[in-house]
Structure 1
Amino acid sequence: MINFRLCGLLLTLLPGSLSAQQLFNSTRSNYSGLAGATWNPANIVDNRYFFQLQLVSFDAHATNTAYRYTGPWSPQNSSAQLDLTKEFLTRRESDKPKLFSAGLNVRGPGLMVRISPTQSVAFSTRVRTAVQGNAVSESFIQNAVDKFKSKGRSADNSFNMNLNAFSEYDLTYGRVIIDKSLHFLKAGVTAKRYIGFGSGYLRSDNADYQIIDKTAATGDTIVRINNLNAAFGYSNPDAFDNVDADQVLKWLTGGGPGGGWGADLGVVYEYRPNMGQYRYIDKKGVDRLDYSRNKYLYRVAVSVTDIGYIRYKENATAFNNIKTTKSGVSEADLEGIDIDNYEARLNKILRTDKQVRENEFVAGVPTALNVDVDYHVYKWIYANASVSQNLRGNYAVGMRNFSYASVTPRIESKWLEVATPLSMINGYQTFAYGLMLRLGPLVVGSNDLGAYFDSSSPYGFNGYAELSFALANGGYKKKRGTQRLKDSSSKKEDAAPKK
């Protein structure tokens, strides 16, 4: 029964979580720097920066596939109450399992340096926190919004709910693997140290319950559990009480009850048909390659990110084989449950004193396969197509990346960039449109602008911003010509041109 009420609890936590996960910036810019390394670690080498100090970067989001929001709150009217009661929710008619997610992702400080024409290194920090629901059955989430007042039986309910907060320290290395004029290949790897500050999960794939009217005998409405196979665990639930900027700073410098390791792996291929136009003669008469310009006609990138885990041993409790049949829960047990008392309430409801208790558990990180193709259309005009596929199972414990696909036209230059991502988010179920603007060191944008318009009824919102100090590669002085070059491995870059 804990399952039912915790779903409702997590839904009620969304307003607090909005100020506190993980977004995606789908522009795939050649000036993304350290932000681009989170998509593919190979992006740190042979990009348009030879030095970048990332001061701070954040993205915040809330989204779901079950209900549109019609209430007064919006990002531009944040002082209004975010009321998630039934009155301000319009249900999406679909039998597909539902998902929801809300949270914050903060990066910085971070440093990226090109140590040679073919190698770069980077170090960065990051904090991620999220409350998420996945594989939530239609009838279950509808009952949760109705506060479980709808009488009758509901069978075959599924849900997987997770709360997670962790920081990470990332060390990235990238290098050029192949540079043969037409064909260019680079690769990168990031080693990660995770520090877990809090985690909780609740899942079941076949809950069968019934809501019964008050009777003279009980004087109370009850929920009768016909059958329930579930798992429930938590460590340091107080971590989610007040997630703000001060708390994030503490997480970057302190320890937590969980720890683990992870990695990102990535490669990028570029097709470069006209390399001759990217070489120039410097003031000393030396033949050099112009690192300030993009050289590809098209680019293909593939990566797997967040391969890893966080193990919670301190203050950890887990019940991974809960089986309950023909039991009842009173309305009094369900009323008033919140973040401060849910641990005791849920233990009572689930009768965990009769279950096998474990003192540790492992939470996964949001492992994903990322693929994108970038095409140089004309001068400053580019078009990008990208897919991010979640690699975590429906009932896995831990944070997840909800799959999405996007197409993003953009105008890209050294000091100005404008991009308009068009995406299918939330497991390819929801259409979203966005806008990104980069003005020198400042980046702002959103991949889901719907919530910013009063006339819309959004499924969620997101927004991101970044501030960094970067030094771009210098430009060419004189073009060498349009002829193709020989294999660059057979010619030293700094050798003087032949007379």
Structure 2
Amino acid sequence: MTRCLLVIIVGILSCLSAQAQHWLGLSSSNYAGTNALFLNPAHAADSRHKLYINLIGNDFFLINNYLRYDAPYSFISLITNSVSQKYRSERGLIIWKDTYYAERLNGKPKHFHTGGDLRGPSALFSFKNNRFAIALTTRGRYTLNLTDVSEETARVIRYGTNLVELQSKDFTNQTAKLSTNGFVEMGATFGAVLADWDEDFLKIGVTVKRLVGVYNVHADMQDAAYRINVESLNPEREFILASKLQATYGYTTEEAFSNLGLSPQFLFGNRSAGGGWGFDLGAVYEYRPDVQKLKIGGPRGGRHHDPNKNKYKYRISAALTDIGAIRYKNLNYVREIDVDPPAAQFSYAYFNSLPSTGAAVDAVNRSIGVRPADTPRGWTVGLPTSFNASFDYHHKNRLYVNALWVQGLGGKNYADIKPQSVFAITPRYETKWFEVSTPLAMVDNYRVFTVGLATRIGPVIIGTDHLGGLLDIGKPQGLDFYFGLYAPFFHRKPDDPNKCWYQPYEKSSRRKR
């Protein structure tokens, strides 16, 4: 089975692919710790934790506008191997059919976004009577964005070349844009209380991030015309004959990935394929009409803020996240080229056995007749810059309702990582050791409605922002799930007035009038 340039690259990456979502169920919690910083770094200050240590966490996200999951069993039963015997073979293997994916054919361009967010060891520490906080975070992020794909090319990607109805037809004016990325991120966050005027409370935060590019494949098929033909001597084999192929594509070599490490030369030097810097900026305002009722007595008299209590009636947050870019400029590991051959043939002989991404790229280069290594050049990948705003309302007792708006601002260039615009309403029940929430969201740039479910029990986080994708409700077009494991250390207060107790942080000389 052979495929055109885009098809080969996507096919190879489909085993990896697997842009990360926003943890809608837990990221706005007052007990989210370091997980809240990725939406707004200002959440670091005035934390409910004296020390929060994230041990591990991961998110997997997929959404598209072309295929719907239409199997007779749910995705969660598939991955947990709990499919009933009715849908298993005599050997006990789960039966899978191509018809379990339902196509959405309307003549419009298709897109596919998928990725993951591996959240590694991280820590948040509050000091100076909870007025300031610092955090160190680590992440590994991997994304695949496939956009502006002509419907015919999407079908070729879906079925390959052996679907009879796609053969011996001329496909013209075909387009597609691909960007895949894998990179390491290390962040340093500083949060501070800027003003505490009793009822009015304001805090700000900033995160500086070091980004190290590990893996990248991108392609921009601007205009292509091709035909799927069957070999005359072997009707079981097909090939693609492209009469026009205007494209740009680039990739990192396999050596770039094999050099992955934690040495200073890799993280800050010239051992990686690319690197860059990123920034997050945020502010949070809280309205605290009952702040005096929530104060507690101190050992020397007076009444002071209880650092373990939420004090707001409502909270307004705003942030700019993922400002920056990764520059792939190490010419030892990066290749990019513009192509416009008079003709190109992608044959079975080149693509029959491809043990690695490098082998697939070599096959594409041979088919087009180019040598990108002769004139290597670099490129820049923009981060998925977003504007995030939220309104968190404390209804009563432990009940909250959160509204979150994430508007993507980046991703203008085809090689950039595409942000996902989202609007969500999330009611939640929140305590120190237990939390449950049900996000109701418009995802995929406000195109798809989803219902999620998330919980935090002790040190464990489990959730999904797309419950229908896991349970196979309504032929879903995507799925999402995440988990986390953390260690919380809360503020301590003395049970003996003679023991040490924190002093209240200084208030601004300005007073509410």
TM range (shorter): 0.7 to 0.9
Q: 2 CA distance for matches of 1:354 and 1:39?
A: 39
In the TM superposition, residue 396 of structure 1 has moved relative to its aligned partner by: 2.9
Letter in 2 for 1:51: L
Q: 1 CA distance for matches of 2:485 and 2:6?
A: 37
Q: Which residue matches 1:483?
A: none
Q: Which residue matches 1:70?
A: 70
Greater Cα offset, 354-363 or 316-325 = 354-363
Three-state SS of the structure 2 residue aligned to 1:139 is helix
Q: Which residue matches 2:421?
A: 403
Residue 278 (structure 1) aligned with residue 294 (structure 2): yes
Structure 2 matches for 1:140-179, cutoff 5 A? 140-148=153-161, 149=163, 150-151=166-167, 152-179=169-196
Q: Is the 8 A contact 1:85 1:145 kept in 2?
A: no
Residue 114 (structure 1) aligned with residue 118 (structure 2): no
Deviations 1:1-23 (A, max 9, x none): x98343354246435544xx623
Letter in 1 for 2:24: S
Three-state SS of the structure 1 residue aligned to 2:384 is coil
Q: 2 CA distance for matches of 1:328 and 1:293?
A: 67
Q: Is the 8 A contact 1:371 1:388 kept in 2?
A: yes
* CA 1:15–1:356: 2 relative to 1, 3 Å: closer
Q: Which residue matches 1:193?
A: 210
Q: Is the 8 A contact 1:417 1:439 kept in 2?
A: yes
Greater Cα offset, 167-176 or 339-348 = 339-348
2:21 to 19, 23, 28: 23
Three-state SS of the structure 2 residue aligned to 1:209 is strand
Letter in 2 for 1:119: F
Q: Is the 8 A contact 2:422 2:443 kept in 1?
A: yes
* CA 1:441–1:218: 2 relative to 1, 3 Å: closer
Q: Is the 8 A contact 2:74 2:471 kept in 1?
A: no
In the TM superposition, residue 140 of structure 1 has moved relative to its aligned partner by: 1.6
Residue correspondences, number: 473
Greater Cα offset, 78-87 or 269-278 = 78-87
Greater Cα offset, 411-420 or 285-294 = 285-294
* CA 1:216–1:471: 2 relative to 1, 3 Å: closer
Q: Is the 8 A contact 1:374 1:383 kept in 2?
A: yes
Q: 2 CA distance for matches of 1:234 and 1:300?
A: 42
* CA 1:433–1:315: 2 relative to 1, 3 Å: farther
1:383 to 387, 393, 401: 401
Task: Kindly report the root-mean-square deviation, in angstroms, between the aligned alpha carbons of the 2 structures.
Answer: 3.3
* CA 1:167–1:347: 2 relative to 1, 3 Å: same
Residue 461 (structure 1) aligned with residue 462 (structure 2): no
In the TM superposition, residue 305 of structure 1 has moved relative to its aligned partner by: 1.4
* CA 1:331–1:83: 2 relative to 1, 3 Å: farther
2:364 to 346, 351, 359: 346
Q: 1 CA distance for matches of 2:337 and 2:445?
A: 27
Three-state SS of the structure 2 residue aligned to 1:10 is helix
Deviations 1:328-374 (A, max 9, x none): 44454454456442111111223223998333222233222222121
Q: Is the 8 A contact 2:48 2:308 kept in 1?
A: yes
In the TM superposition, residue 403 of structure 1 has moved relative to its aligned partner by: 2.0
Three-state SS of the structure 2 residue aligned to 1:410 is strand
In the TM superposition, residue 408 of structure 1 has moved relative to its aligned partner by: 0.8
Q: Is the 8 A contact 1:422 1:433 kept in 2?
A: yes
In the TM superposition, residue 112 of structure 1 has moved relative to its aligned partner by: 0.8
In the TM superposition, residue 251 of structure 1 has moved relative to its aligned partner by: 4.8
In the TM superposition, residue 228 of structure 1 has moved relative to its aligned partner by: 2.7
* CA 1:86–1:293: 2 relative to 1, 3 Å: same
* CA 1:268–1:348: 2 relative to 1, 3 Å: same
What percentage of residue pairs aligned between the two structures are identical? 29
Deviations 1:15-73 (A, max 9, x none): 5544xx62321131111110000111111011212211111122123332210123467
Q: 2 CA distance for matches of 1:110 and 1:324?
A: 49
Q: 1 CA distance for matches of 2:209 and 2:346?
A: 44
Q: Is the 8 A contact 1:167 1:251 kept in 2?
A: no
Deviations 1:387-430 (A, max 9, x none): 22222335431433322221111111212111001122222222
For structure 1, the residue ranges without an aligned partner over 5 or more in a row are 242-246, 478-486, 493-499
Q: 1 CA distance for matches of 2:320 and 2:388?
A: 6
Q: 1 CA distance for matches of 2:371 and 2:493?
A: 69
Three-state SS of the structure 2 residue aligned to 1:407 is strand
Scaled by the length of structure 1, the TM-score of the pair is 0.84
Q: Which residue matches 1:134?
A: 147
Greater Cα offset, 155-164 or 327-336 = 327-336
* CA 1:473–1:76: 2 relative to 1, 3 Å: farther
Q: Which residue matches 1:495?
A: none
* CA 1:8–1:358: 2 relative to 1, 3 Å: closer
1:259 to 253, 275, 291: 275
Deviations 1:136-180 (A, max 9, x none): 232221222121441322233222212221111111001122322
Q: Which residue matches 2:314?
A: 298
Q: 1 CA distance for matches of 2:454 and 2:262?
A: 28
Greater Cα offset, 319-328 or 25-34 = 319-328
* CA 1:354–1:202: 2 relative to 1, 3 Å: closer
Q: 1 CA distance for matches of 2:370 and 2:400?
A: 57
Residue 182 (structure 1) aligned with residue 183 (structure 2): no
Greater Cα offset, 218-227 or 456-465 = 218-227
Greater Cα offset, 113-122 or 361-370 = 361-370
Three-state SS of the structure 2 residue aligned to 1:7 is helix
Q: Is the 8 A contact 1:268 1:300 kept in 2?
A: yes
Q: Is the 8 A contact 1:8 1:147 kept in 2?
A: no
